[in-house]
Every structure is written in C-alpha cells, then in structure tokens.
Structure 1
Amino acid sequence: MSDIVVKDSNGTALEDGDSVTLTKDLKVKGTSETLKRGTLVKNIRLTGRADEVECNTRKVKGLVLKTQFLKKA
C-alpha cells in the first residue's frame, strides 16, 4: 500500500489518534442523528482513502466521515 497523506479541510495532515472538529452540521445516514458543527471527535482512524476517516461518536459507532468537513483540533 502506498503512503497516502490524509488532510483536513485546511490542508493539515491527519494521523491515527488525532482529534478533529466538524466544520458543518452533518446528518448521519440510517439514523435520525445530526452531528452539529463544532463537535469534537477524538481518536480518529485512517481508512486507507485520502478523503475519509473512521471514528466513533457518543451516539454513533463505526462512523466514516469525509475529511472536507473536518478540522484538526
């Protein structure tokens, strides 16, 4: 597997275990939940794709988020 650099919406490199903040309200498909702008998501995991990270929130487990909506905390 090649070295993929995962970057947030500001171009800052992300790594496993980083914390990120949402830059936009996001509706979670398959649930009635909406993650609000400014929500802190801790301990992200890289997925092997440059535009996605995997994480858990209080209400939703195993969530995959697009990096264009994230900012490194």
Structure 2
Amino acid sequence: MDVKDSNGAILKDGDSVTVIKDLKVRGSSDVIKRGTKVTNIKLTDDPAEIDCRVNKTAMVLRTEFVRKA
C-alpha cells in the first residue's frame, strides 16, 4: 500500500511534510496555517490519512492537504 501526498510523492514513516492549506481543527477554535512543517509522521491503515503532532497536539491529517518537505 503506497501512501502519497498531494503531489504524488510517496510518504514513509518518519518523513516531514508541509501543510498546503489553512485547516480548521475540529472541536477547537485553532487553525493550522498553510506552510506549517510537520515532522516525524506515522502512517495509518488508511492510505488517505497520517498520524502526526502539530504544535504538541496529536492529530490525524488527510494526505490531500500535505506535501513532502
């Protein structure tokens, strides 16, 4: 199973990605700004999602909103 970012680059555990769009965080008033770098991602069973930590908060991001750094 290949996990690809918005540009089609293959992602692996431990990669760094950059957010390409401002994202609202569900259940909070926080926003993840475009250009935010996320390091040390973890792949999930779903090829469209990755686990990561953004600003010391664990969350799941959709791969369509990130690109490999």
TM-score interval for Structure 1 and Structure 2 normalised by the shorter chain: over 0.9
Check if 1:58 corresponds to 2:55: yes
Written as runs of structure 1 = structure 2, the 5 A alignment for 1:1-73 is 4-59=1-56, 61-73=57-69
What is the DSSP-based 3-state SS (H/G/I as helix, E as strand, rest coil) of the residue aligned with 1:55? strand
TM-score by length of 2: 0.95
Identity, % of aligned positions: 55
For the residues of structure 2 that align with 1:18 and 1:12, how far apart are their CA atoms? 11
> How big is the alpha-carbon RMSD for the aligned residues of Structure 1 and Structure 2?
0.8
Q: What number of residue pairs does the alignment pair up?
A: 69
Where does structure 2 lack aligned partners over 5 or more consecutive residues?
none
Q: Which has the larger radius of gyration?
A: 1
Greater than 2 Å deviation, 4+ residue runs: none
Structure number with higher strand proportion: 2
Q: Offset at 1:56?
A: 0.5
**Local SS of the residue matching 1:50:** coil
> How far does residue 70 in structure 1 lie from its aligned partner after superposition?
0.4
- TM-score of the pair, normalised by structure 1: 0.90
* Aligned residue identity for 1:57: V
Q: CA deviation at 1:48?
A: 1.3
Structure 1: stretches of 5+ with no match in the other structure? none
